[in-house]
Chains A and B, each alone.
Chain A
Amino acid sequence: ETGVTQSPTHLIKTRGQQVTLRCSSQSGHNTVSWYQQALGQGPQFIFQYYREEENGRGNFPPRFSGLQFPNYSSELNVNALELDDSALYLCASSTGTRNEKLFFGSGTQLSVL
């Protein structure tokens, strides 16, 4: 059974650029959630995808968008990057929409300069 994998592990971008982060969910999991973890803080819910549809969104602007593919892998896209977007982006997979047991990847550390 493979775990949740995220790529890339680290990324440096400049303000105004766009970024795409990728996540492969754990085998057998059909739900992917994305979280933003600022330094010294707990993860904050961005959105969840279930069977390729967005199924809930946190308090993040529309420039944060996502996709889920038929194999349940997922992408997080962030447009018009701002300095405050610098954070660890975590992907978590689970089964079903209730998704009580989250399995997190190691994250992508994004730095916006």
Chain B
Amino acid sequence: EAGVVQSPRYKIIEKKQPVAFWCNPISGHNTLYWYRQNLGQGPELLIRYENEEAVDDSQLPKDRFSAERLKGVDSTLKIQPAELGDSAVYLCASSQDYSSYNEQFFGPGTRLTVL
């Protein structure tokens, strides 16, 4: 079974440029999460989707970050414009549903460097 797929794996951009990350969750997983992992830290949740609905986006900086999960399958996270402090690894995870007994499976992440 294929795991969570993310692309690109690496992205280097200049500040004020836009950037987008793509995630394809494990087939059949209804819940999708986007995390940001700063250097030397653990992942921090940005947004959670239940099917196509964003049910928890309280930690998403809405002035520059946006996300969508059309058709409740794959998802895109966008930053526009990027700032130096956005440099981090952006992880996507999925779980069968939001139940506390369902493991979250993580993708390999996209490492973003903003110059």
Partners in one complex: no
Chain A positions within 8 Å of B, measured between CB atoms, are none
Chain B positions within 8 Å of A, measured between CB atoms, are none
